[in-house]
Amino acid sequence: MIVRERDEFQALYPQANIEIRIGTSRAAVGALFAAECDAAVITRDLAPEERTAAVRGGLELEGFLFARDALVFLVNRSNPVQNVSVPQLRDIYRGTIRDWSALAGSRQPIHPVVQPMESDVTGFFAERVMAGGDIGARVITEPSDSAVATRVAADPLALGYVTLATPTDGATALRVAGLRGLPTTRPDAQTVYAGTYPVTRYFSLYLRTKGSQLAKGFNTFVTSRAGQQIVHEAGLVPTSVPVRFVHRSPMIPSH
């Protein structure tokens, strides 16, 4: 997504030259603090220790939300389980829930799937789902969203997490409740936009307040209607422009 934002911006302003480096949010923030880059795109808010470091160093930063994303929890299509709560997910990955029967499924073991521990998506999973606790279950590690979706589609006992834009053919997205007993919510663009889906995260673009004018111009583009259209087309949810959701009536034919 951010590559396309850069390409569209440079098409509008051919004199602009923006180099993108791929890495974790932690690495991006470190590079911004060290003046090794002019802008950092991260998939979380600044951590408390990062805010403290900025204050101690006299570094003035501005952060701009430009997209919403979510963790989507997948099971195989043959799995009858449809709903789960965040505490149940935590217990599965801790290893205290090991059998699908605890979620009204079959009496068979759960095969939890994770993405690499150093990835941003697992960092968010550790913070929001595990609440900083350790993953104690025996897990299967897959390198990417698409690999997790493929694994779940092939394994009737698997449970894995991916981001909102991931194609999930062969898998079913679980409805999630923030706490046991609360209503469950389907992960989709509307629930993420409304903030009712409990495992939602944000993409932010951070700049130094007294930094590059080019970086500020790029931020203006990303948060503009044109930039937010790119966010939408990438399968994420815009934050800085109004979004309208249209529901087709079941009485209206599709052709």
pTM over 0.85: yes
- Whether 215 and 207 have beta carbons less than 8 Å apart is answered as yes
- Whole-number Å distance between alpha carbons of 9 and 222: 8
- Whether 66 and 222 have beta carbons less than 8 Å apart is answered as yes
CATH for 2-68+201-238, among 1.10.10.10, 3.30.70.20, 3.30.200.20, 3.40.190.10? 3.40.190.10
pLDDT tens column, 10-33: 999 999 999 999 989 999 999 999
pLDDT at 84: 98
The pLDDT confidence band at residue 251, using thresholds 50, 70 and 90, is very low
Residues 6+ apart with CB under 8 A from 161: 71, 72, 73, 74, 113, 114, 115, 121, 125, 148
Longest dimension (CA), the chain: 62
The torsion of the CA quartet 127, 128, 129, 132, rounded to 10 degrees, works out to: 30
Q: Identify which has the larger pLDDT, 255 or 93.
A: 93
Return the domain boundaries, the chain.
Answer: 2-68+201-238, 70-194
pLDDT tens column, 135-146: 999 999 999 999
Question: For the residues 141-160, what does the mean pLDDT come to?
Answer: 98
The answer to whether the 2-68+201-238 and 70-194 domains have the same CATH topology is yes
pLDDT tens column, 74-106: 999 999 999 999 999 999 999 999 999 999 999
- Whole-number Å distance between alpha carbons of 239 and 223: 8
The position carrying tokens 């950092």 is: 40
Fold exhibited by the domain 70-194: D-Maltodextrin-Binding Protein; domain 2 (3.40.190)
Closest by CA position to 38, among listed 255, 209, 233, 240: 209
- Whether 87 and 180 have beta carbons less than 8 Å apart is answered as yes
